[in-house]
Amino acid sequence: MNHPQKKKQNKMRLTLPLEEYMHSGHLACQGCGATLAMRYVLKALGQRTALCIPACCWSVIDGPFPYSSLDVPIFHCAFETAAISAAGLKAGLEMVGDHETQVVAWAGDGGTFDIGIQALSGVAERNDDIIYVCYDNEAYMNTGIQRSSATPFGAWTTTTPVKHYKNRPKKDIDAILAAHRIPYVATANISYPEDLYRKVLKAKNIKGTRFIHIYAPCPSGWKTRPEDTIKLGKLAVQTCIFPLFEVEEGSTWKINIKPREKKPVEEYLMRQGRFRHLTAEAIALIQEEVDRRWARLLKYEETSPL
């Protein structure tokens, strides 16, 4: 290794703690965003954390029995049960005298927006004391790229072939959770790790149900270049396709990043194989919807507390 001992010995400027609770050797694809999401979240939560992971890419990424890539305990739970498994686990830990461990449900978009929404809604209604993290790669990736209700309008997946591309907008899970009036809802993005880290820390210090929705690009499923993962995350925010915001008690909305100039969605879409078939008209439709959602968000913030 050609280590430049000669250069003057500045400190590395790290914006996140050095501690790692996720280790190498895991089974994610090259350039996987979901993996970064885990890495950052655990940096914020630390070792006294327990995860409930339903079926999703992460149930593979972590590694097969008898291995695990993480330094925290995991309950690999049934697909539809992330939230309630966590709530059950929390209750159990409390009853055996552990009042400290932060219990986290860690699920993909399918496990959150679709098959897991009922358990999540139940937990939110009871305000059970867990953090729910949804890492959103916008399709069922672990089973090979099928549409979920998080899949955006226009996208190709294996169940929405280009001739029948997804023709419904992405389900607005954040608004749905906000409507549950839980103490904390936030969106985050692996391309903004400091913001993500801050939000998880904030969530950690709140009691009740906290929901964090993390944008996590998936090169394999989106047909993008692995090295574009961070770029895509930034574009998602700059185009306002995936705005960063927080909602407290379902009523106080705060947008964290407002791009000075919104980039056109096309810039975002055209980097991705899953959108390559889109016509100019379809892209215009998407732009419209993005604008509408952004305007709505601005209004929410403006009229807060709602």
Partner 1 sequence: MRKVLMGNHALSYGAMLSRVQVVAAYPITPQTQVVELLSEMCAEKILDAQFIKVESEHSAMAACLGASLAGARTFTATSAQGLALMHELLHWASGGRLPVVLGNINRAMAPGWSIWTDQNDSLSQRDTGWMQFYCGSNQEVLDSVIQAFKVAEKLHIPAMIILDAFSLSHTYEIVDVPDQEKVDKFLPPFQPKFRLTPDEPHAFGGLTSPEHYFELRYKLQKDMEKAPALIEETGQEFEELFGRKLGLVDPYKCDDAEIILVTSGTTGYTARVAVDHFREKGLKVGNLRIRVLRPFPFEKVQSILSHAKKVAVIDRNISYGHHGIFYQEVKSALYGNSSVPVFGYITGLGGRDITLNTFQKIIEETQRNETPPERISWIGVKK
Partner 2 sequence: MVEIRFHGRGGQGTVVASKILADAINKEGKFVQAYPEFGVERRGAPVYAFIRIDETPIFDKSRIYSPDHIVVLDPTLIEAIDVTEGLKEKGWIIVNTDKKPEELAFPTKYRVATIDATHIALKHQLGTRATPIVNTAIVGAVVKVLDLARLESVIQAVKEGVPLKPEENAAAAKEAYESVVFHS
Partner 3 sequence: MKKQQPTKKIIFHSEKEMPLAPYSLGSMLHNRTGAWRNIRPEINLENCIQCGICWKFCPDVAIYIENEYPVVDYTYCKGCGLCAEECPVKCITMVEEEK
Residue ranges in contact with a second copy by CB under 8 A: 80, 113-115, 117-118, 121-122, 125-127, 149, 168-169, 171-172, 175-176, 178-181, 251, 296, 299-300, 303, 306
> Quick one: 164 or 168, whose CB is closer to partner 2?
164
**Shortest distance in whole angstroms from residue 72 CB to partner 2:** 22
With vertex at residue 44, the alpha carbon angle to CA 42 and CA 48, rounded to the nearest 5 degrees, is: 65
DSSP-derived secondary structure for 162-191: GGG---SPPP-HHHHHHHTT-SEEEEEETT
Residue 93 binds partner 2, judged by CB under 8 A: no
Among 109, 128, 174, 246, binds Mg ion (CB under 5 A): 109
C-alpha dihedral sign at 253, 258, 264, 270: negative
Helix (H, G, I), strand (E, B) or coil at 151: coil
For partner 3, the binding residues in 48-77 under the rule CB under 8 A are 62-63, 65-69, 74
CB of 121 to partner 1, least distance (A): 7
Stretch of residues binding partner 2 (CB under 8 A), selected from 21-29, 85-93, 102-110, 157-165: 21-29
> What residues between 137 and 166 interact with Mg ion by CB under 5 A?
137, 141
Report phi then psi at 57, rounded to 5: -55, -35
Does 238 contact partner 3 by CB under 8 A? Answer: no
* Secondary element (H or E) of residue 55: none
Rounded distance between C-alpha atoms, residue 249 and residue 141, angstroms: 32
CA distance 7 to 245: 41
241 binds, among ligand TPP, partner 3, partner 1, none (CB under 5 to 8 A by kind): none
Rounded to a whole number of angstroms, the minimum distance from the CB of residue 57 to ligand SF4 is: 3
Q: Is the Cα dihedral 31, 264, 188, 64 positive or negative? A: negative
Q: How many residues bind Mg ion (CB under 5 A)?
A: 4
- Interacting residues of 278 by C-beta distance below 8 A, sequence separation 6+: 154, 165, 269, 286
Site for partner 3 in 73-112 (CB under 8 A): 74
Task: Pick out residues in 189-228 that bind partner 2 (CB under 8 A).
Answer: 220
Structure tokens at 235: 């574009």
From residue 144 to residue 173, the character string flagging contacts with partner 1 as x (rule: CB under 8 A) and all else as - is x-xx-x--------xxxx-xx---------
CA dihedral sign of residues 285, 288, 294, 295? negative
Distance separating alpha carbons of residues 110 and 170, to the nearest angstrom: 12
Cβ distance to partner 3 smaller for residue 231 or 277: 231
Choose one: 2-10, 65-73, 281-289, 295-303; the region binding partner 1 (CB under 8 A).
Answer: 65-73
Query: Strand 245-248 vs strand 184-189: parallel, antiparallel, or unpaired?
Result: antiparallel
Nearer to ligand SF4, 112 or 209 (CB): 112
Q: What is the CA radius of gyration of the chain?
A: 19
Beta strands 252-255; 245-248: pairing state: antiparallel
User: Which residues form the interface with ligand SF4 (CB under 6 A)?
Assistant: 28-29, 32, 34, 57, 61, 137, 141, 218-221
User: Which residues form the interface with partner 1 (CB under 8 A)?
Assistant: 47-50, 52, 55, 59-60, 62-68, 70-81, 84-96, 98, 101, 113-115, 117-119, 121-122, 125-126, 128, 140, 142-144, 146-147, 149, 158-161, 163-164
